[in-house]
Structure 1
């Protein structure tokens, strides 16, 4: 038999899906700004390798559109900030934060989750709504969002908010930190997509509808027996 179980509230789903296009717009407009001054590179044996080649910008049709990139970035940063602040406020009021914040055992169990996903470990550690790795990742992304806001404001108003730029280590350091956080978002997004695929359709559907289908009775027993036989 199967039964339907509520997993994600409408509030959590709303903030999740609103944040996705906002973050994409922020990254896209940020690339337009960065393209105007491709300052960062990695030096290997004296040869500088830039993060993005001219072919990359040509593929995405990103010419020098600094003014347009800044206009989009500075507009949508407010929507990104408001959505993030409301999300944190919602988790605090609703009590969802209890299932998001890492526990003492989370870092140990996160390693076990990683080994399980790599098919090195057969047994998945006990988990609630979110496993240990998810707790760490979702908390980290909130802290990263706060970091992007602080460094972004330091870059946006380096004179008026000179004290904020000073806290970030100066204008150039704030810009580098802002760029590093953006790279972190991209890595998080790629890993998140892989995790969604591994988790399967039932998990993805719950993020859309808020409900997941739980197998009970005979089907659940057969599933457990099948999993035990593989151990």
Structure 2
């Protein structure tokens, strides 16, 4: 029995996010390496950009793509009713696409985490222009630490997400648009 493939727009947004996440992670680790504060530096082979200026260029390019893709995805989730059906419904009345409560909470948590990452990223990108936002995080360094912790949580989620996808090949194939 094959899994029903999600709509094309869901798959495109998902795989765009996957690529952009890898770019943001690698470039973010290079940015972190310029001024590490909690752990030692990340190995050079895991970073992107080669230097702080190069990493910032990659990170900002990824930021704009992630923001645009996020706006498209959230708009389509709302307009299609998919957000409500799949992630906010209290029961399994969303067409047999059985999502457990844990999955619903994890995906909603990721949306909240992405919001926090966006806000903390803006706070450390423009700390003078967005001084009110930077101060809401407790200052520049606290915003930077929140951004780094958020990255860690997103990485843990991504590792779990990838592991579950590999354990469910029919769902992975469906996300690739392949019917078996």
TM-score by length of structure 2 reads: 0.87
| 1:175 and 2:144 aligned | yes
Cα distance in 2, alignment partners of residues 16 and 181 from structure 1: 19
Equivalent residue runs for 1:59-208 within 5 Å: 59-60=45-46, 65-103=51-89, 128-199=97-168, 201-208=169-176
Cα distance in 1, alignment partners of residues 178 and 75 from structure 2: 20
| 1:19 and 2:17 aligned | yes
Residue 205 of structure 1 aligns to a residue whose secondary structure is: helix
Equivalent pairs counted in the alignment come to: 177
Residue 73 of structure 1 aligns to a residue whose secondary structure is: helix
Q: Cα gap change, 1:135/1:33 in structure 2, threshold over 3 Å: closer, same or farther?
A: same
Determine which structure has the larger helix proportion and give its number: 2
Q: CA deviation at 1:169?
A: 1.9
Structure whose alpha-carbon radius of gyration is higher: 1
Q: Is the 1:154–1:162 contact (alpha carbons within 8 Å) kept by the matching residues of 2?
A: yes
Provide the aligned C-alpha RMSD in A: 2.4
Equivalent residue runs for 1:208-219 within 5 Å: 208-209=176-177
Deviation beyond 3 Å, 4+ runs, structure 1 = 4-7, 58-64, 102-106
Q: CA deviation at 1:206?
A: 0.9
Structure 1 portions without partners, runs of 5+:
41-49, 107-126, 214-231
Q: Is the 2:124–2:140 contact (alpha carbons within 8 Å) kept by the matching residues of 1?
A: yes
TM-score by length of structure 1 reads: 0.69
Equivalent residue runs for 1:1-20 within 5 Å: 6-20=4-18
Structure 2 portions without partners, runs of 5+:
none
Residue 160 of structure 1 aligns to a residue whose secondary structure is: coil
Q: Cα gap change, 1:160/1:62 in structure 2, threshold over 3 Å: closer, same or farther?
A: closer
| 1:28 and 2:14 aligned | no
Residue 194 of structure 1 aligns to a residue whose secondary structure is: helix
Q: Which residue of 2 aligns with 1:112?
A: none
Q: Cα gap change, 1:186/1:76 in structure 2, threshold over 3 Å: closer, same or farther?
A: same
Cα distance in 1, alignment partners of residues 123 and 112 from structure 2: 17
